[in-house]
């Protein structure tokens, strides 16, 4: 096989990626078009009505956008107090030690558990607990979904943060130690400022994960189509409304669901792009 | 003053240790719950019989007997769909990864690399929608083919990335030595670079399989599910995660949830640990 044919074969194989991506965007846009045309783009985004009784069909994405943003934000808040210590444990305090390797393996395994099993665990273990603690009467809701979501994104946030914390140059830390700083002060005054951009970017990528998480949220969020008024109330995320209704939908409702899919795709793609760019910048410094 | 600072240092150290170790608790809790609720369901018939109908299950519950049947239809569906997806995704992913590694400075390759990231970050439920629009609508029905297309799209970016990264960290001298011996680029890739990168690529493939084997959302609108053991790929087909979802929603079948989950979880964890082990061996 000569070089030319070899190059052509590789080129054709590489073409598949742009084709698939183009196809994704094309299919989402053309199938969402009906809903956007019928309701108007901004009206669709800002309407909180979701009514599929025939004749009075009215669809809006606002409750689901709110639901997604609330679950993601809460998951991030719940995840930080655990993922940051894990990153410091692995990347600074026990760097290169056996315990660090064990902990990072265990945390990585969390990333391997299928989301439907997280959903089951949340439904059969966490939900009764929340009911028993009288936090919410029905047990499921934004809070329950976010708690499980937080566990799911810990590995994504902590493993990348640990990488950046490991890369902090030793001479900087030694300089601080020689001035009499304690370890906590070194972490606070040297490690965080140097690795900060990288740590931040790893949380941006973790958000990207949480936004599109489907099964866990579908099983735990309570599946009501209203704007959640508190963190214990039920709701729906963009992914969970699609998972719940896509199978039975047609016509305008199907188009509206695909429109929600398009919005979700754009938000996730945007967040991931920002995260990747930030990682590249953080690596150079 | 110094005492205060040292005390603060100690408090921070211990709270980091405690919080970090607490993070391992969910893994143990989930493993424990799935194991203790599921292990007694894993009998021989659980793997050889298809899912019972809701009516049959209801009868058994009324009679106070264990639910008959198992998840054979799901296991066969998972193997078939994953197999079809892998047959396309592995060679395409390796070739595409090789392209990216060979042309890393080229504008087109950089675009492809960026789009691979985009595809990898796309939520799985959207891959489900896309496959529905592309495959299910033109074929006028749910099918195992549609399910495997969805899984294939999800696997490809992971294989591309691992191939590209592994090929890039190989020493350049390896390729140069091959070329100096008179091999052309294709031969050097096939006989020198890919064999040398085998460990890394294989790890990537295992991780890709373990990622998609538990995926439920993209299969819900593509393969749909089916309670029969079926081999025809143009008809709806079940998969283990789809069955778990079905059992979760059907009060009569809830006894089967934990066995199916335990099976899926063990499979995924074994794949993950094997991948880690191979990666470690290969790095040495």
Measure in Å the smallest separation between the Cα of A156 and chain B Cα atoms.
12
To probe the interface with A, which of B6, B23, B161, B183 has the most A CB atoms within 10 Å?
B23
Lowest mean pLDDT: which of A23-32, A133-142, B200-209, B212-221? A133-142
Residues near A238 by Cβ (< 8 Å), separated by ≥ 6? A61, A64, A65, A67, A68, A211, A260, A261, A263, A264
- CB contact (8 A) between residue B272 and residue A112: yes
Same domain, A19 and A73: no
Instruction: Please determine, for residue B284, whether its predicted confidence score (pLDDT) is greater than 70.
Output: no
| pLDDT tens sequence across A55-80 | 788 999 999 999 999 999 999 999 99
Same domain, A138 and A270: yes
- CB contact (8 A) between residue A88 and residue B186: no
Residues near A161 by Cβ (< 8 Å), separated by ≥ 6? A83, A84, A87, A91, A195, A198, A199, A202, A203
Euclidean distance between CA atoms A106 and B23, whole angstroms: 9
Both tokens assigned to A248? 């039975």
Same domain, A150 and A43: no
Euclidean distance between CA atoms A43 and A60, whole angstroms: 7
Measure in Å the smallest separation between the Cα of B276 and chain A Cα atoms.
9
Tell me if chain B has a CB within 8 Å of the CB of A83.
Answer: yes
Beta-carbon pairs below 8 A across chains A and B: 233
Tell me if chain B has a CB within 8 Å of the CB of A260.
Answer: no
Euclidean distance between CA atoms A214 and A229, whole angstroms: 21
Instruction: Please tell me the predicted confidence (pLDDT) of residue A1.
Output: 65
Instruction: Please tell me the predicted confidence (pLDDT) of residue A163.
Output: 93
Residue for token pair 């239809």: B73
Measure in Å the smallest separation between the Cα of B106 and chain A Cα atoms.
12
Same domain, A92 and A47: no
Which region, left, alpha or beta, applies to residue A180 given φ > 0 means left and ψ of -120 to 50 means alpha? left
Q: How confident is the model at residue B182 (pLDDT cuts 50, 70, 90)?
A: confident
Tell me if chain A has a CB within 8 Å of the CB of B267.
Answer: no
Instruction: Please determine, for residue A284, whether its predicted confidence score (pLDDT) is greater than 80.
Output: no
Whether A33 is covered by a domain: the verdict is: yes
Same domain, A112 and A216: yes
Instruction: Please tell me the predicted confidence (pLDDT) of residue B128.
Output: 95
Chain mean pLDDT for chain B: 92
To probe the interface with B, which of A120, A165, A244, A249 has the most B CB atoms within 10 Å?
A120
Whether A210 is covered by a domain: the verdict is: yes
Region A9-31: mean pLDDT is: 95
Binding-face residues of B in 1-60 toward A, CB within 8 A: 5-6, 8-9, 12-13, 15-17, 19-24, 26-27, 29-30, 33-34
Question: Which member of B19, B213, B245 has the closest CB to residue A81?
Answer: B19
- CB contact (8 A) between residue A85 and residue B20: yes
Instruction: Please determine, for residue B218, whether its predicted confidence score (pLDDT) is greater than 90.
Output: yes
Instruction: Please tell me the predicted confidence (pLDDT) of residue B72.
Output: 93
- CB contact (8 A) between residue B132 and residue A246: yes
- How many domains does one find in chain A? 2
Both tokens assigned to A165? 């914390």
Both tokens assigned to A238? 């963009």
Whether A57 is covered by a domain: the verdict is: no
Measure in Å the smallest separation between the Cα of B46 and chain A Cα atoms.
19
Region A255-276: mean pLDDT is: 96
Same domain, A94 and A123: yes
Same domain, A47 and A73: no
Q: Which residues of A6-26 are buried (b: 16+ CB within 10 A; e: fewer)?
A: beeebbebbebbbebbeebee
Whether A59 is covered by a domain: the verdict is: no
Measure in Å the smallest separation between the Cα of B97 and chain A Cα atoms.
8
Which chain B residues touch A160 with a CB distance below 8 Å?
Answer: none
| pLDDT tens sequence across B20-78 | 999 999 999 999 999 999 998 888 888 998 988 888 888 888 888 878 888 999 999 99
DSSP state of A181: -
Same domain, A96 and A156: yes
Residue for token pair 């949480």: A210
| pLDDT tens sequence across B72-88 | 999 999 999 999 999 99
Same domain, A15 and A138: no
Same domain, A117 and A145: yes
- CB contact (8 A) between residue B184 and residue A27: no
Euclidean distance between CA atoms B145 and B136, whole angstroms: 9
To probe the interface with A, which of B7, B17, B20 has the most A CB atoms within 10 Å?
B20
Tell me if chain A has a CB within 8 Å of the CB of B106.
Answer: no
Tell me if chain A has a CB within 8 Å of the CB of B216.
Answer: yes
Whether A60 is covered by a domain: the verdict is: no
Of the candidates A144, A276, A172, A16, the residue with the CA atom closest to the CA atom of residue B152: A16
Question: Which member of A6, A158, A208 has the closest CB to residue B185?
Answer: A6
Q: What does the DSSP assignment read for A198-215?
A: HHHHHHHHHHHHHHH--H
- DSSP H or E segment with residue B151: helix B144-169
Let me know the angle formed at the C-alpha of A76 by B25 and B264, rounded to the nearest 5 degrees. Answer: 45
Euclidean distance between CA atoms A73 and A206, whole angstroms: 11
Euclidean distance between CA atoms A25 and A6, whole angstroms: 30
Whether A190 is covered by a domain: the verdict is: yes
To probe the interface with B, which of A9, A11, A109, A114 has the most B CB atoms within 10 Å?
A114
Tell me if chain A has a CB within 8 Å of the CB of B130.
Answer: yes
Question: Which member of A20, A105, A246 has the closest CB to residue B221?
Answer: A246
| pLDDT tens sequence across A210-245 | 999 999 999 999 999 999 989 999 999 999 999 999
Q: What is the CATH number of the domain that holds A100?
A: 1.10.3720.10
Binding-face residues of A in 42-71 toward B, CB within 8 A: none
Q: How far is CA A251 from CA A52, A128, A164, A255, A258, in A?
A: 11, 38, 49, 6, 11
Whether A120 is covered by a domain: the verdict is: yes
By CB atoms closer than 10 A (0-12, 13-18, 19+), residue B269 is middle
Tell me if chain B has a CB within 8 Å of the CB of A86.
Answer: yes
Same domain, A41 and A177: no
**Which residue range(s) make up the domain with A83?**
65-284
Same domain, A36 and A140: no
């Amino acid at each position: 096989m000569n070089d030319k044919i070899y190059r052509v074969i590789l080129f054709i194989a590489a073409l598949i990626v742009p084709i698939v991506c183009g196809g994704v965007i094309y299919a989402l846009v053309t199938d969402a078009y009906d809903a956007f045309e019928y309701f108007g783009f901004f009206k669709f985004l800002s309407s909180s009505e979701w009514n599929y009784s025939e004749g009075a069909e009215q669809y809006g994405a606002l409750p689901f956008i709110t639901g997604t943003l609330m679950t993601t934000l809460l998951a991030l808040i719940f995840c930080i107090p655990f993922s940051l210590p894990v990153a410091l444990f692995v990347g600074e305090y026990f760097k290169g030690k056996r315990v660090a390797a064990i902990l990072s393996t265990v945390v990585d395994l969390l990333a391997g558990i299928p989301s439907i099993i997280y959903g089951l665990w949340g439904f059969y273990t966490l939900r009764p607990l929340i009911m028993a603690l009288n936090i919410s009467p029905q047990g499921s809701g934004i809070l329950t979904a976010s708690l499980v979501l937080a566990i799911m994104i810990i590995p994504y946030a902590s493993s990348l943060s640990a990488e950046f914390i490991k890369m902090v140059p030793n001479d900087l830390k030694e300089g601080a130690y020689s001035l009499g700083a304690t370890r906590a002060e070194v972490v606070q005054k040297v490690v965080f400022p140097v690795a900060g951009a990288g740590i931040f970017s790893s949380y941006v990528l973790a958000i990207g994960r949480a936004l599109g998480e489907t099964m866990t949220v579908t099983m735990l969020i309570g599946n009501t189509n209203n704007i959640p008024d508190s963190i214990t109330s039920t709701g729906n995320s963009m992914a969970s409304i699609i998972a719940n209704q896509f199978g039975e939908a047609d016509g305008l409702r199907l188009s509206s669901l695909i429109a929600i899919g398009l919005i979700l795709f754009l938000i996730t793609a945007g967040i991931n792009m920002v995260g990747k760019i930030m990682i590249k910048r953080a690596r150079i410094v | 003053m110094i005492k205060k600072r040292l005390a603060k240092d100690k408090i921070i150290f211990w709270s980091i240790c405690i919080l970090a170790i607490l993070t391992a608790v969910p893994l143990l809790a989930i493993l424990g719950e799935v194991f203790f609720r599921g292990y007694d369901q894993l009998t021989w018939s659980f793997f050889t019989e298809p899912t019972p109908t809701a009516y049959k299950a209801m009868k058994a519950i009324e009679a106070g007997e264990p639910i008959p049947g198992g998840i054979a239809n799901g296991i066969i569906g998972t193997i078939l769909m994953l197999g079809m997806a892998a047959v396309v995704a592995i060679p395409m992913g390796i070739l595409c990864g090789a392209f990216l590694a060979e042309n890393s400075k080229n504008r087109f390759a950089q675009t492809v690399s960026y789009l691979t990231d985009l595809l990898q970050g796309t939520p799985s439920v959207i891959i489900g929608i896309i496959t529905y629009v592309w495959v299910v609508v033109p074929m006028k029905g749910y099918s195992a083919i549609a399910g495997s297309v969805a899984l294939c799209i999800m696997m490809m970016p992971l294989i591309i990335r691992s191939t590209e990264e592994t090929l890039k960290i190989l020493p350049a001298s390896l390729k140069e030595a091959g070329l100096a011996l008179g091999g052309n680029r294709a031969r050097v890739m096939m006989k020198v670079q890919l064999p040398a990168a085998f460990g890394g690529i294989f790890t990537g493939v295992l991780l890709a399989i373990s990622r998609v084997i538990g995926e439920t959302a993209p299969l819900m609108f593509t393969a749909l599910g089916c309670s029969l053991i079926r081999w025809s790929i143009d008809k709806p087909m079940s998969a283990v995660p789809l069955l778990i979802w079905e059992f979760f929603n059907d009060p009569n079948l809830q006894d089967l949830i934990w066995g199916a989950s335990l099976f899926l979880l063990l499979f995924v964890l074994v794949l993950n640990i094997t991948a880690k082990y191979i990666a470690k061996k290969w790095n040495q």
